[in-house]
Amino acid sequence: MSNTEETSRTGEDVSPVAEVKSAMAGFMTDFKGFRADIDTRLQNQEEKMKMIERKTFAPARPTLAANPDAGAPHQKAFNAYLRSGDDDALRGLELEEKALSGSVAADGGYLVDPQTANTIKTTLSATASIRSIANVVSVEATSFDVLIDHTDLGHGWASETAAVTETGTPAIDRITIPLHELSALPKASQRLLDDSAFDIEGWLATRIADKFARAEASAFVNGDGVDKPTGFLTKTAVDNDVWAWGNLGYVPTGADGDFNGADAIIDLVYALGTEYRAHATFVMNSKTAGAVRKMKDADGRFLWSDGLAAGEPARLMGYPVVVAEDMPDIASDATAIAFGDFSSGYTVAERPDLRVLRDPFSAKPHVLFYATKRVGGDVSDFAAIKLLKFATS
């Protein structure tokens, strides 16, 4: 039967063309509905973006607080975290300022706010300790190696036709400086931390810097090397006339527990090698400095001279003086004065990061702030430091 006959018999159009047209009509209807839905969603999204734009770029209202830095995003987040211990405060900091994100360490600690860390580091550098004149290096490892060539190269004279004699080869020594953990644990009451007018950041930096400075200064002079830096006074001291590598040379004053005139200080200066004297510094505590301050040479001139400008160190025989209170007092057999090029003779190795952990539970109603820093120190050139021993020999 033909298509024409089938159509006339049933009264319906069942041709393939009719079926395609019907399918296309249904598809277009569905597509129009889908498109209308997408347009609605895009419009809603655009309205939300406009609202965010207006909120972000709208002119800021004038603040009532006197401190213009109080609204800084990293300051708000840091202070909020100290007062509440809320991790969301630091997460908000990450969203608002990527460059100042509070990185989470493996042990759950947070890197301290940059301004606090800089304050602590500045205080440590300015403190009157060996750090201020030593060689300070930043390392990312657990130790720092110093390579020292402390032997001399052999030489000889030869004629034109004579055979060249073999000479000695210099040896290189390696000194390993391990890093130890320095910690501080200041505390404050929760009520004090809740006081928004209190400078939490400044208080925390001052407490930590003071404790770190005192602990470091002591270790760099007298540390035994067990879980702390090795102090230069813990090294074996021998008479400079028989000095050998691995020891510090000393010059005796000629009197037990006292000076025997100004000659001892002059002898100390010239016991140090010429290559070190140009950058040498005296190190002593306040009591010793008071005694040296009164000394005069044979012509009645004071050996000591005060700094000519503010911030300049006093000078002894033309060399700067660092007053380090951890140096021993003048006593029998005490090595109360050191003289040397500490930038060559003593190395301080440290990790650059400083961590602060908040503990509101262990000392209620106080909050503990556990700060840690990795630092080490040791003598790196035994020829660069000489000692003055208050003894007859």
Domains in the chain: ranges and CATH: 235-346+380-389 (3.30.2320.10)
- Determine how many CB atoms are found less than 10 A away from the CB of residue 257: 15
What residues contact 306, with CB distance under 8 A and at least 6 apart? 314, 315
- Residue carrying structure tokens 């390579």: 147
How far apart (Å, rounded) are the C-alpha atoms in residues 125 and 322? 13
pLDDT score, position 184? 82
The alpha carbon of 367 is separated from its chain's Cα centroid by a whole number of angstroms, namely 24
Q: CA triplet 208, 341, 304: central angle to 5 degrees?
A: 90
Burial (Cβ within 10 Å: 0-12, 13-18, ≥19) of residue 141: exposed
Q: Which two tokens stand for residue 361?
A: 């539970």
Residue-by-residue pLDDT tens, the chain, 393 positions: 444 444 444 445 557 777 777 777 777 777 777 777 778 877 877 777 777 666 555 544 444 334 445 455 556 555 665 555 555 544 444 433 333 333 333 333 344 555 566 666 666 655 668 899 999 999 988 999 988 887 777 777 877 777 777 777 777 888 999 999 988 888 878 777 777 666 776 777 777 878 888 899 999 999 999 999 999 999 999 999 999 999 999 999 999 999 988 899 999 999 999 999 999 999 999 999 999 999 988 888 888 988 767 667 889 999 999 999 999 999 999 999 999 999 999 999 998 877 778 888 888 888 888 888 899 999 999 999 999 999 998
pLDDT of residue 170: 75
Q: What is the DSSP letter of 282?
A: E
What pLDDT does residue 117 have? 62
pTM above 0.75, yes or no: no
Q: Directed axis angle between helix 73-84 and helix 87-96, to 10°?
A: 170
**CA–CA separation, 271 vs 252, rounded Å?**
11
